[in-house]
Amino acid sequence: LILKCYFCTLFYIMKKSVQLLTGLVLLNLFIRALIAYFLEFGNDEVYYVKYVEYPDWSHFDHPIMVQLMGQFTSLNNLLYHEFFYRLGAVLIGSFNTLLVYFIVRELYHEKAAFWAAILYNTGIYTALIVGVFFMPDAPLLLFWLIALYYGIRFVNEDKNIYLIAFS
């Protein structure tokens, strides 16, 4: 009961924009998790699941981030279900929503950032392919958005630490 009251109080004192963003991220996380759980693997995903089952450093067309993401979320193939292989993409897709929000807030303002986060989650590529499917697009877009965020911070604030993070 005390823990419940603490979270209610914490949610009450948060700014309205933070409440809306938190609700958006949690709603998208829930919807993506449902899709990831009930949808069967596609051809590309099976290809990368086999790569997680038989890892090797010398594959030319197998990005290492896909293997690491799959091994981490499936506990090194201990949890053998579509959901656990896709869990990394689901979490990355939700985190990318936050990154889009922060990027647009850095450029414009909070209202535009919230609408950009909503629009980011309505696209088929960003909502399904990056946000649900076990493919190299999820870690690729994650690091691309992180680099974009720090590149914008460097231009706006002219601090070398952001240039190093951008690199």
CA-nearest of 104, 107, 125 to 116 is 104
User: Distance (Å, rounded) from C-alpha 94 to C-alpha 32?
Assistant: 9
Q: Does residue 60 carry a pLDDT above 90?
A: no
pTM: 0.85
User: Distance (Å, rounded) from C-alpha 94 to C-alpha 106?
Assistant: 19
- pLDDT on residue 86: 96
Q: Does residue 63 carry a pLDDT above 90?
A: no
Q: Are 117 and 21 in contact (CB under 8 A)?
A: yes
User: Distance (Å, rounded) from C-alpha 42 to C-alpha 162?
Assistant: 39
- pLDDT on residue 1: 46
